[in-house]
Structure 1
Amino acid sequence: MKNIFFIAVLIFIAPFVLTTGIFAQLPHFLIPPAEFKAFDTPNDAGETVSLTWPASPSDAPDVFYVVYIDKNKNGAFEKEAIRFKSNTCYRTGVPEIYGHKKSNENYHYVQIFPRKVFNAETIDTGQVYYFKLAMVSEDSKIVLDTVASARARGNWLHTKKANNFLIMITLSAIILYFIVHARRNPNLSLRKISGLDAVDEALGRATEMGKPVLFVHGLTGMGSISTIAAISILGRIARKIADYDANLKVVNNDPIVMSVSQEVVKESYLEAGRPDAYNPDNVFLVASEQFPYVAAVGGIMTRERPAANFFVGYFYAEALILAETGASTGAIQIAGTDAYTQLPFFITTCDYTLIGEELYAASAYLSREPMLMGTLRAQDVGKGILIIILILGTLLASFGLTFVTHLFEAF
């Protein structure tokens, strides 16, 4: 009876004793991990060695893991490779190696860069490294007897990037198929883009009125994809201008863009068989600064009153000023940009606006070249496939099946 009473008292007072800090000064009782393994890190250039071990019941914020490294199995293991809190660094941080298993939360994982640890020493290629693991707290330390070893080797292939490779092969096959299909079927259908259908109307109006056509570049250089798209559109417009015997003026704020534009327009006149009609003075540099450029272009609009204005490229705060000035002269205005912050201004003040990717599709739409047509059609099919996968993945994820989300991870 006395034993039962004594046990009951211990059970009753134990929580109070532990929480009041009576045993706070006692040393930690550290339980070492059951195993400790080292292996060459897969899919790398041979710079790292991976270490893993199961979590210990003693893991806590004030307990640290310390990994010691040596080049000899019977060495002193005095060089510290890494030290970290025992409640961090888990396998969940490297899904490219261990996947997305729930059990990864119960295993620690670290990568060691041996050459960085032995920074001042010469290390032979193929050196085997030996590791020991220790648990350390403020007042306790325990070192595992296990000695893990591994050699860092480079890998020729990154197997976890196989998904990226398969996606690339699939999209490339689709593109090649539609290019061949476009060559066999020149009348390949594309979605109607009103702004591009109106190009002939705008150029025809300028020809009938005997007024020039003004092509305005954006403010970015040749390194911008929107400028490259604008140059391509300029070539198509210049070819039609040459056929119609109209007058084309191209304004620029970048000397490199101006040089490229001159060559493109010249080539278009040559293709049309009218090299004598090309005037290099019609493709000119206006100003290199933003608002002087806008003021100069606005002056050209008000003085020469072109019948058609094309604003194509990447624009900033000058977009509304240019478009409003052109609208006040009564010109047909067609704009195209991927600057989403300026699209509202162009949509409001221009007759037609190419929105976002329509700017990139314009070259294929106007030229009807099989290479461009096939590529454009393949991109649309690729986007359709991705939309279907997104919808399917959303539905599966709603039921707790998330494996689809991991198929497109770029490790």
Structure 2
Amino acid sequence: MLMLLRIAKFIVFISALLLAISILPTQCVYSQGASPTSSDLGPITVRAHDTDNDAGSSITVEWDDPGYEKLDGFAGFLIWRTNTLTGTSDSVEVVPFGARSYDDRSVSDDSTYSYAVAALVNGERPMSAPSVQVRSAKQWFDSRLTWVLILGLIICGAVIYFIESAKRGTKLFLRRIAGLEAIDEAVGRATEMGRPILFVAGIQDMDDVQTIAGLTILGSIARTVAEYDTKINMPVRASLVMTAARETIKQAYITAGRPDGYNDDMVHYVTDEQFGFVAAVDGIMVRERPAACFFLGAFFAESLIMAETGNSIGAIQIAGTAMPAQLPFFVAACDYTLIGEELFAASAYLSGEPRQLGSLKGADVGKAIAMIVILVGVIATTIASAWNSESMLWIENLLRQMFSTG
């Protein structure tokens, strides 16, 4: 019984002690009086400097907060600017809670400024000492884009290297394009059936690179046509395209050893009006029923109309364009389609011109680098998110810094 009484006293003592400890801090804080005011805090330290990696007309203002944001009634920091050349001062911006820097983009490169920061607390404005005088200036080089510059130099170096290699006679590997492999088949079929070949180099003028690519491919097709002694019919809607196409086909016939087989009427002007031209091409297809149709160049709404007409007469159709909105129509209605860049790759492949081949191979180097970076970035981000891997997070941040433009 005595033992139980002692245990009970000990428990009461411990309980009382714990209660006193829990109450003591509250009593101490309360005894210290009211919460601190702005007058109890130290001064705000301000730094101003020219904004990095910009085109001028911007100054970055940074400051340290000694604790104003913790006060009741805090409304923000007021940025105060003084033009030291004219002596005028004005408020620039009220920066909200949590900000520690501000880019002033309303300055002139011809003036010098100093800045002060005031904390807005319950109607009071404790102001910092003014910063050092600073002037904005343009930077000639954006250091954030250093890796982009390096990547550009690598691609340009690859282009130059492959161009020089092609000029020396080095055979550059280019992947096979199914549409090009079918050219001989299409021309041979037209020869066997005794029907002509229809070639349309898009509806744009010679200032469009797709038209130029189409005419380059035309030169190869025309050589095959000359060798097979087949007719070719090429309607155009631009006079410059007509002139260039005639010269291309004429040179192809000369190369094939059949200059007498060429005729200017193989290429004929129709009209500049878009759907007038389409109606004329459809009429040619229905009347002459060509055995092979080539649509290589820039196309718009007329792509499906012409491709469906060619499909209805049973012609072998080979199309190619870099217009994304028209590719589905060509894919659906044609036998072979050169998708986007394949049109330009085909042009380089068939021409064998060193500058085109080198440019194509150099671009392939850039695409290979981009694919590798994307693949590594995706893997690093996935592993960093799933397993909190610090090494993968470091790689992810490195890639972000390397290719960030902002």
TM-score (norm 1): 0.75
Q: How far does residue 246 in structure 1 lie from its aligned partner after superposition? A: 3.1
The equivalent residue for 1:108 is: 101
SS in 2 for 1:323: helix
State yes or no: 1:63 paired with 2:76: yes
User: Hey, what's the Cα distance between the residues in 2 that align with 1:216 and 1:360?
Assistant: 16
Q: Given residue 353 of structure 2, which amino acid in structure 1 is its aligned partner? A: E
2:58–2:103 Cα contact (<8 Å) kept: no
Matched, 1:85 2:85: no
Q: Within 2, Cα distance between the matches of 1:41 and 1:78?
A: 21
In the alignment, which residue of structure 2 is the partner of 1:408?
Answer: 403
After superposition, the Cα gap between the structure-2 partners of 1:151 and 1:225, relative to the gap in structure 1 and judged at 3 Å, is same
Q: Distance in 1 between matches of 2:375 and 2:295?
A: 37
- Could you say which residue in structure 1 is the equivalent of 2:133? 149
- Whether the 8 Å contact between 2:83 and 2:112 is mirrored in structure 1 is no
SS of 1:83's partner is strand
Would the alpha carbon gap of residues 273 and 111 (structure 1) be closer, same or farther in structure 2, given more than 3 Å must change?
Answer: farther
Shift of 1:333: 1.0
Kindly indicate whether residue 204 of structure 2 is the aligned counterpart of residue 193 of structure 1: no
The 5 Å alignment of 1:203-282 reads 203-269=187-253, 277-282=261-266
- Cα displacement (A) at 1:405: 2.3
Instruction: After TM superposition, give the deviation of residue 213 of structure 1 in Å.
Output: 1.6
Task: Give the whole-Å Cα distance in 1 for the aligned partners of 2:42 and 2:102.
Answer: 15
Report SS of the residue matched to 1:300.
helix
Deviation at 1:341, TM superposition (A): 3.5
Residue aligning to 2:163: 179
Matches within 5 A, 1:294-313: 294-313=278-297
**What CA distance in whole angstroms lies between the structure 1 residues aligned with 2:223 and 2:332?**
29
Contact 2:54 2:142 in 1 (8 A): yes
Structure 2 residue 60 is the aligned partner of structure 1 residue 50: yes
Q: Deviations over 1:276-320 (max 9, x none)?
A: 544444333334344333222111001111121001123333322
Distance 1:67 1:185, change over 3 A: same
**Structure 1 unaligned spans of 5+:** 12-17, 19-26, 91-106, 117-122
AA in 2 matched with 1:109 = Y
Indicate the residue corresponding to 2:328 in structure 1: 344
1:288 maps to a residue whose letter is D
Q: 1:48 to 1:6 in 2, by over 3 A?
A: closer
From the two aligned structures, give the one with the greater helix fraction.
2
Partner of 2:369: 385
Post-superposition shift, 1:54?
A: 3.2
- Assess if the C-alpha contact under 8 Å between 1:33 and 1:53 holds in 2: no
Q: State how far apart, in whole Å, the 2-side matches of 1:345 and 1:153 are.
A: 53
Cα distance change on mapping 1:344 and 1:143 into 2, 3 Å: same
Post-superposition Cα deviations, 1:75-131, rounded to whole Å, max 9, x if no partner, equal 855234x2133237x6xxxxxxxxxxxxxxxx3131344229xxxxxx5xxx53222
Alpha-carbon RMSD: 3.6
One-letter code aligned to 1:394: V
State the distance in 1 between where 2:43 and 2:255 align. Answer: 77
Q: C-alpha offsets along residues 322-353 of structure 1, whole Å, 9 cap, x if unaligned? A: 11211222222111123334333322322211
Which deviates further from its counterpart, 384-393 or 61-70? 61-70
Structure 1 stretch displaced more, 300-309 or 317-326? 317-326
Could you tell me whether the CA contact under 8 Å between 2:51 and 2:60 is conserved in 1? yes
Aligned mates of 1:376, 1:183 — CA distance in 2? 14
For normalisation by structure 2, the TM-score amounts to 0.76
Q: 1:330 to 1:51 in 2, by over 3 A?
A: same
Instruction: Tell me, yes or no, if the aligned pair for 2:242 and 2:269 is still in contact at 8 Å.
Output: yes
Separation in 2 of the partners of 1:28 and 1:324? 79
User: What is aligned with 1:354?
Assistant: 338
Distance 1:277 1:30 in 2: 100
CA distance 1:159–1:334, shift in 2 (3 Å): same
Is the 8 Å Cα contact of residues 44 and 128 (structure 2) preserved in structure 1? no
- Say whether residues 1:315 and 2:289 are aligned partners: no
* Aligned length in residues: 367
Residue 269 of structure 2 is aligned to residue 285 of structure 1:
yes
Aligned AA for 2:117?
A: L
Q: Secondary structure at the match of 2:338?
A: strand
Written as runs of structure 1 = structure 2, the 5 A alignment for 1:152-171 is 152-171=136-155
Number of the residue aligned with 1:93: none
Correspondence for 1:22: none
Q: Residues 321-340 of structure 1: matches in 2 within 5 Å? A: 321-340=305-324
| AA at the equivalent of 2:102 | Y
Change (3 A) 1:144 1:266: farther
Q: Is the 8 A contact 1:308 1:332 kept in 2?
A: yes
Q: Which has the larger radius of gyration?
A: 2
What's the offset of the Cα at 1:9? 12
3-state SS of paired residue (2:62): strand
Cα distance in 1 for partners of 2:371, 2:356 equals 23
- 8 Å Cα contact 2:74-2:121 kept in structure 1: no
Which of 33, 37, 48 matches 2:47?
37
Over the matched positions of the two proteins, sequence identity in percent amounts to 39
Does residue 1:128 correspond to 2:107, yes or no?
no
Deviation at 1:262, TM superposition (A): 4.2
Q: Which amino acid aligns with 1:319?
A: S
Worse overlay, 320-329 or 261-270:
261-270
Q: Distance in 2 between matches of 1:275 and 1:138?
A: 94
Please give the alpha-carbon distance, in whole angstroms, between the structure 2 residues aligned to 1:194 and 1:68.
67
Uncovered stretches (5+) of structure 2, i.e. residues with no partner: 1-19, 385-392
